[in-house]
Amino acid sequence: MLPVAASACLHRVRGRPLIVWYIVNLVRPGIIKIVINHTHLGHMTGETLSEGSKDGAIIRYSAENVVSETAGGIANARHLQGEEPFVAIASDGYCPDFDFEQVKNMLEDNDLSSQHYPLDKRNVAWLYLVKNPSHHPHGYFFLNSFSVNNQREPGHTYTYSGVGVYRPEMFDAVSLGQPEKLVTLMRKYATLGQLGDEVYRGAWTDVGTIERLDQLNAPL
């Protein structure tokens, strides 16, 4: 595991905190309004990035006194996010080349003939999946023609990268202040056929251990 003397998103890869890699890539296509949810040692995130802006971003913070898990944290920050689809990122991942231009119109309300998708048919989220890393060989989801289901057929599963686009209403049923895992909601909507996805083939690392962090920082 990573040392706990700093918030995980502030560990540095190639001289830059993990979260700053994402901020820079978000700002590049004009995604400048960013909400950062934090619990453990979260004050260090604010001290590092400042309450104002970082690299052109307008940053707001959603602090938690207790760990609410990812879906719970998103629900707690709903008042800061508005009602449009938003991109959510697990900031302890390293994905230096991700082009966030592609997320801006990912969840459309209309089909190609400009007809509204029925509410119970349209995707509530779009996930970016990656090939299963060695420490997670069985993956999370089965990919089936740009939709996700909960089957786990050997050789056909993928791992969630930590990057996804979500409709706010996906979190309507999450009780404020209560812990809720994001994967629980994912599996619910995968069963309903309302979870879209694609495979991201760029560089990606789950920086969950000091060994993986050291590997990323090793001399080229």
List, for residues 191-217, the tens digit of each pLDDT value. Answer: 998 999 899 999 999 998 889 999 999
pLDDT, residue 51, reads 45
Question: Whole-model pTM?
Answer: 0.88
pLDDT, residue 43, reads 65
Question: Long-range contacts for 200-205 (Cβ within 8 Å, ≥24 apart)?
Answer: 200/95, 200/98, 200/128, 200/129, 200/130, 200/161, 200/163, 201/130, 202/95, 202/97, 202/98, 203/94, 203/95, 203/96, 203/97, 204/93, 204/94, 204/95, 204/130, 204/161, 205/93, 205/94, 205/95, 205/133
pLDDT, residue 42, reads 64
- Where do the domains of the chain lie? 8-217
The fold for domain 8-217 equals: Spore Coat Polysaccharide Biosynthesis Protein SpsA; Chain A (3.90.550)
DSSP type of residue 167: -
Those residues of the chain that have pLDDT short of 70 are 1-7, 40-44, 46-48, 50-54, 145-147, 151-155
pLDDT, residue 52, reads 45
pLDDT, residue 105, reads 86
